[in-house]
Structure 1
Amino acid sequence: MASVISFLANNGAPLLANVYPYFSYIDKPQSISLDYALLRSPGVVVQDGGSNVKVVVSESGWPSEGHAAATIDNAATYYQN
């Protein structure tokens, strides 16, 4: 990851993050919350590397059907937080 961050920093480009915590949640629902912490994690990686690379969330979402965890209530919680 350090080489990617270095490349982005040298070229003045942001790190684009596609954040879909649903896929982690269905594997370990007891350890994943539907709050904003998952959106912060890419920024922490960049910051810990000592870089000023900006992080842009380019995609994010939560499904509302198709699995027991893919409910309208869970999607609403995700989007509201």
Structure 2
Amino acid sequence: MGINLSRDEILREKRNGRTVGYHKFTLKFKPRQRKPYCFIEGEDSKYYISRITMVCKAEPIFISCKGKKGVVETFNEIQKHND
């Protein structure tokens, strides 16, 4: 991040940062909840919702990660945490 960025620019950069998917996951995660968590690139939930619901017998929780790179980075971030 640049030194001369406004507060809005800093927040915009953070919103698109690599841990956004992980942060969304930690906000939505409930240990006793029996729903699958699906990390998606963007609007993929429209395509996958019926298929995942049919296989898992539960409506999934979709977490958008802003592209393939975001999905991979979110996966790597989750792998770092044992809890």
Query: With structure 1 as the length reference, what TM-score do the two structures score?
Result: 0.28
Query: With structure 2 as the length reference, what TM-score do the two structures score?
Result: 0.27
Structure holding more helix per residue: 2
